Structure 1
């Protein structure tokens, strides 16, 4: 059903939905973690923890559509409420038919728009919303926990290879519970990786490239951590969003930022290893805490969108994904991201 210029407010995940998500994960978590898992422990966000409120505009412009094309489909991620953030005043403006949808595995939300010929020279999709984001040191539930056993398996670009297993065994040789194992993996990734976006192959979350080259961006750091954690039977999740600059109250955002979560037996704990690499003085902080200067757009890898795309699963979902006549490509999608502080 067409939804011309809908204005919506995002609803949080229901308690029943959280329970279902945790029960799915419950079946996948090994006995050592199950014995102490608390389904609805209080979130680890301390009362009065630092928060930041801002307005965000996500704009996708579809240009250069191939001659003779009949249909363009585009999917854009839409953030949701959870224990780390509150999303309000969601507004979507798009040409043609468009609607909010949710993919079935990780629960990511998106706007799907479909345009038919004849096409304008430029078609713009704008997603605007307000965010209140808090510093957090853990959460009692994750929407992505609904992925269940996927949180212990490899991804297409992050297989649990022999090299991954070897590094994980070495990093966790001292044993201990999930937190001790995760800390060993965190330190090993810091030791093995350097934040460096020179050369080719970085930025895809390719665990083989990370192991071979030892450098990359946040996706490469956290892909390696997640694969290593899963090889040690510690459930782990990839999450991606946008960084919000400190020292500025408004401006453009150049690109994404990502981090990871792992299950410690009582809650989900965040790690941001690439930020720890860039700021060694915050190594302890970023093992178990993420700051307010970011927000999440989606989680998971190898995503089948809703409605299902004709192309391959999406590696990770932060930028617009478009198909022309059922095939990836065939049009250029320009994108821009801006923020403005509200307090």
Structure 2
């Protein structure tokens, strides 16, 4: 059973118990007239409008931030989305809303709001921080008297769902076996580089002949390039790394994001992508780049099914839009085309996800992800993983876990030495070319985690 079903069942139970908790109040005759006049039927749409108006008002008073304080911390928050699926009318003049709000550093809090009032005027009476980046602070428990109370959740962990937080340290081997070739050939292989979130030490590069390191002017990727001949058939290219990787959240970068508003060969913009993006944004009442990006993120999760069938794996946004299926490349390509069509810079990267449940062995191929630009920062997203693990959908909007390695960035990569077939769609596995025709290369990834650090 998918986690989504369990969450839906919980929310349905939650709506039942909350509506049963309303206690009738005794009122005077004059007061009863006021209550009667305020008891006009209230819908969840009214509750959504009420919570949005409350947040908008407090955000205006807070100079652009929704300000919230508890016993230990003062929060400056921005609206990410209203969980329309959890809005509810608890009883006469009593309502519930669940909202995602983000800090400047990209942490996303799931906040529960209780409201009192009427169809046209609601006031927040209680505010609880329910989750941080998808991990709950509390859950609900029913007492013997049928009332419900919150119960703290101790040491909630995402590790079993593939996430290592904080940092991860591991050795990683990228191994490619050159197929049988009868003519001269060329090969391009991505080389991982250090950045703000990963420290890469190249332990060794083993090739059957001479190689050179080249780059590309658009994304500054590092690429191993080799000329091959029939004597290299069946031999291996092996790159061995030591990696220290940090969990990734929203970050600033000294570059112009506007170049990530342009189309790529398989990432068209405008036309139907603009129509879809505008429709999604309007229906979800998204008004800022952050809320618009979340609306498009949720749309892709809802519309696309993870399935390795058909011509998947090319990162073709048109294919993703038509088939509503694919692997990580289709999920993120569709998101990027929609985001760019909505005026939100977005970009693509690829590497490998390192298993969290074991400390050595093979890695199941490449993995890719995306980032979008809002609030002066790049926000990482991983939509295909959010689709697999619905409970982590909040986490993956604004975070990449520590257990991964990035190989390259960008689409339509143009190395200093170009393939005869033209730019490289994206660079994960080796690109081997004979007379301008691509040839498949068997590729294997393995890792060994350093458990002493």
Whether the TM-score (by the shorter chain) exceeds 0.5 is yes
CA shift, 1:98, in A, is 0.8
CA shift, 1:158, in A, is 1.6
| 3-state DSSP of counterpart to 2:239 | strand
CA shift, 1:135, in A, is 1.2
Q: Residue 78 and residue 86 in structure 1: after superposition, are their counterparts in 2 closer, same or farther (change >3 A)?
A: same
State how 1:208-287 maps to structure 2 within 5 Å. 208-287=318-397
| 3-state DSSP of counterpart to 1:63 | coil
Alignment partner for residue 126 of structure 1, among 228, 238, 242? 238
Task: Answer with 1 or 2: which has the greater Rg.
Answer: 2
Can you give the 5+ residue segments of structure 2 that lack an aligned partner in the other structure?
1-103, 108-164
Q: Residue 55 and residue 164 in structure 1: after superposition, are their counterparts in 2 closer, same or farther (change >3 A)?
A: same
| Cα-to-partner distance string for 1:268-288 (whole Å, 9 max, x where unaligned) | 101111111111111111111
Are residues 1:196 and 2:312 paired? no
What residue in structure 2 maps to residue 315 of structure 1? 425
TM-score for the superposition, normalised by structure 1: 0.79
- Asked if structure 2 preserves the Cα contact closer than 8 Å seen for 1:133 and 1:294, the reply is yes
| 3-state DSSP of counterpart to 1:97 | coil
- Asked if structure 1 preserves the Cα contact closer than 8 Å seen for 2:252 and 2:376, the reply is yes
CA shift, 1:161, in A, is 4.3
| 3-state DSSP of counterpart to 1:340 | strand
Alignment partner for residue 228 of structure 2, among 108, 111, 115? 115
CA shift, 1:238, in A, is 0.5
| Cα-to-partner distance string for 1:71-108 (whole Å, 9 max, x where unaligned) | 22111100111122110134211122211111111111
| Cα-to-partner distance string for 1:256-303 (whole Å, 9 max, x where unaligned) | 111110111321101111111111111111111111121111111111
Q: Residue 284 and residue 161 in structure 1: after superposition, are their counterparts in 2 closer, same or farther (change >3 A)?
A: same
RMSD of aligned alpha carbons: 2.1
| 3-state DSSP of counterpart to 1:128 | strand
TM-score for the superposition, normalised by structure 2: 0.61
Larger relative CO (CA 8 A, sep 6+): 1 or 2? 1
State how 1:59-70 maps to structure 2 within 5 Å. 59-66=175-182, 69=183
What residue in structure 2 maps to residue 37 of structure 1? none
- How many pairs are equivalent? 290
Can you give the 5+ residue segments of structure 1 that lack an aligned partner in the other structure?
1-41
What residue in structure 2 maps to residue 135 of structure 1? 247
What residue in structure 1 maps to residue 412 of structure 2? 302
| 3-state DSSP of counterpart to 1:119 | helix
Alignment partner for residue 168 of structure 2, among 37, 45, 52? 52
- Asked if structure 2 preserves the Cα contact closer than 8 Å seen for 1:77 and 1:320, the reply is yes
| Cα-to-partner distance string for 1:292-331 (whole Å, 9 max, x where unaligned) | 121111111111123111112211100001123x4224x5
CA shift, 1:60, in A, is 1.2
